[in-house]
Structure 1
């Protein structure tokens, strides 16, 4: 990704009312197929999750734009200990304590179709991670999306177990990236 082509802007939870429509529009485009068939992926459910994620003061979002058009975004927040206690089949039991010593949870990363495979996702991700002080970052990837998991592993993430954050959500692989 060329830094002089894509503009990366950082937002905090106080900015959510301003950027919410953009985040919802990109979500609707990226998840269009699933929105039609799976209630968990509905726009209303995503909007609820977005509100929950941004409710803490540590929420950070990086939005990429090219010529005034949003190409993608990534956002996350500090993970809690209770979230890490939900890890199923952990690779090692110490993952249950990850929330106590600083783990940034990457909640969403989305890139619109025309910019996939161009390095934009990695650029947005890296910008977000460079701003974090936590020891590690985490994300969940749908077990039915092995290409996405392979991409995250290429970025340095390692599988630490599985999670199912909501009763009606898919079961996800939990991945972690050392930041320090």
Structure 2
């Protein structure tokens, strides 16, 4: 499968719809939960798009959107850090970090390296020294977190990103 990767820092109506289509497909088993509903995702997306350093990478197989990853820059004062369950080590937030907010790949493209390619493309031109992401430690019976560990991420904290969110493991790696 040949997947074309497209960068977006502002979403056209078409790119937004492609992202929503992939999100709804990827998260279909969870859409009944408040935190995963399309409306909740749109609220988060709209907020993240206004934050510094927003970038989205969408993957396409021919013209079919198959996966995505997006994130934005967080600095020391960002609420992202204030929700951590454990205090952060001194100096941990002294430099800006890329917070990867979402990664998703449709089922037929899972296990093909597509998620890793999209992830790596998102990080390729960033200036932050580190990247973070959050994962439900139960997702895929722990397989998703194990996958992120193979990408160089290490668990360092936990948080609930919203009142309706499950407790997520926060992971980080050097960019």
Q: Same fold, TM exceeding 0.5? A: yes
Kindly indicate whether residue 74 of structure 2 is the aligned counterpart of residue 76 of structure 1.
no
Distance 1:68 1:102 in 2: 35
Kindly indicate whether residue 149 of structure 2 is the aligned counterpart of residue 153 of structure 1.
yes
Distance 2:133 2:54 in 1: 15
Deviation (angstroms), 1:16 = 4.7
Aligned pair count? 171
User: What is the RMSD of the two structures over their aligned residues, measured on CA atoms?
Assistant: 1.6
The answer to whether the 8 A contact 1:65-1:72 is kept is yes
Distance 1:174 1:125 in 2: 16
CA separation of 1:78/1:16 partners in 2, compared to 1, >3 Å: closer, same or farther?
A: farther
Q: Which residue of 2 aligns with 1:167?
A: 163
CA separation of 1:16/1:153 partners in 2, compared to 1, >3 Å: closer, same or farther?
A: farther
CA separation of 1:162/1:24 partners in 2, compared to 1, >3 Å: closer, same or farther?
A: same
| Higher-helix-fraction structure | 1
- Specify every segment of 5 or more residues in structure 2 that has no aligned partner in the other structure, as ranges: none
Q: Which residue of 2 aligns with 1:86?
A: 83
Tell me the TM-score normalized by structure 1. 0.89
- Specify every segment of 5 or more residues in structure 1 that has no aligned partner in the other structure, as ranges: none
The answer to whether the 8 A contact 2:159-2:167 is kept is yes
Kindly indicate whether residue 58 of structure 2 is the aligned counterpart of residue 67 of structure 1.
no
Deviation (angstroms), 1:150 = 0.3
Tell me the TM-score normalized by structure 2. 0.91
Q: 4+ residue runs of structure 1 moved beyond 3 angstroms?
A: none
